[in-house]
Amino acid sequence: MRLVHGRRTPCILFMALLLVLSSLPAFAGHSDAPAVKKGILLVAFGTSEPEARVAFDHLGELAAKRFPAVPVRWAYTSNIIRKKIAKQGLMTDSVPVALAKMVEEGFTHIAVQSLHTIPGEEFHEKLLGVVNGFRSLATISVGSPLMTSPQDMETVVKAIQATIPAARKADEVVLLMGHGTHHPGNIYYPGLQWYLSTRAPLVFVGTVEGTPSLDDVLAELEGRKVRKIWLMPLMSVAGDHARNDMAGPEDDSWTSILTAKGYKVESVLKGTAEYDAFASLWIDHLQVAFERLD
């Protein structure tokens, strides 16, 4: 992933740009129609953890490999993350700013790929909601998050099974930490648990801010002869949640809570986007979105 060092361009310039560009449809019938120029915009929630950015680097490399002649741009949907990395001297755009820049550069067809895990608030409001405002300026196609269909769920289950550490024994539990949300899109987490229960009975899904919760998982483990639990993030990057809420030393981290209950715990600090098994599904969704541009 490419982060740019430098000053943030004042928002007023982009407001002015949008006002100018909004007049372009009036010239749609002009004989000198612009030549087709295709581009890709990869959109993630974002991360402020330098070590976690390797996941986005991996996705960027896969996108460049699949579409070698197509320029790739990036955007973060999280305002908080963009502010945090700005203090680190690194800049990445919001979705509206990234799209405005691409339109200004002459891109007429843009495939926007969500790198979110589920279609929650970040996807619907900060990605789709913004994209819809740009459809009069360019042909835009949006690729789905990781899990949006029964076929996706099947693929994700296979990816989970393929990325479980080889050292994990058959009688040991694997607990995946998802972010969770109060948005209706949270339903994909219990949905994934159902798929896992039929294929990998000792693999569980918990979330930080949704359902199932850690307490829900602990209730499922009650009475089982489980001695060891492997913790893995069900997030594209092993960022703040994985390093602190999951594996951190604080008393309220999942590691500390599980250890206090007598379980032996081992954490894997690797985001799903670091694995080809997961990342390829996002790129496949991008392929579908890109082909829709035609």
8 Å CB contact between 31 and 252: no
Structure-block tokens of residue 283: 């790129």
The pTM of this model reads 0.86
pLDDT tens digits for range 49-63: 888 899 999 999 999
Closest by CA position to 224, among listed 157, 175, 270: 175
* pLDDT for position 1: 54
8 Å CB contact between 202 and 169: no
Phi first, then psi, for residue 42 (nearest 5°) are: -95, 125
Name the amino acid, one letter, at 192: L
Per-chain mean pLDDT for the chain: 90
Across 10-14, 107-111, 199-203, least confident range: 10-14
**Would you call 216 exposed, middle or buried from its count of C-beta atoms within 10 A (0-12, 13-18, 19+)?**
middle
Pairing outcome for strands 72-76 and 139-143: unpaired
Mean pLDDT within 207-232: 95
Domains defined for the chain, CATH in brackets: 11-145+275-292 (3.40.50.1400), 150-271 (3.40.50.1400)
* pLDDT for position 28: 42
**How far apart, in whole angstroms, are the C-alpha atoms of residue 57 and residue 171?**
35
Helix (H), strand (E) at residue 111: strand 109-114
Res 282 pLDDT > 70: yes
Across 16-20, 66-70, 71-75, 91-95, least confident range: 16-20
* pLDDT for position 32: 61
pLDDT tens digits for range 6-51: 444 444 334 534 544 554 544 444 446 679 999 999 999 998 888 8
**How far apart, in whole angstroms, are the C-alpha atoms of residue 130 and residue 96?**
6
Res 132 pLDDT > 90: yes
Phi first, then psi, for residue 127 (nearest 5°) are: -115, -70
Q: Which residue is catalytic, options 58, 116, 179, 285?
A: 179
Whether a cis peptide bond, with omega within 30° of 0, leads into 212 is yes
Mean pLDDT within 229-251: 95
Q: Is 179 a catalytic residue?
A: yes
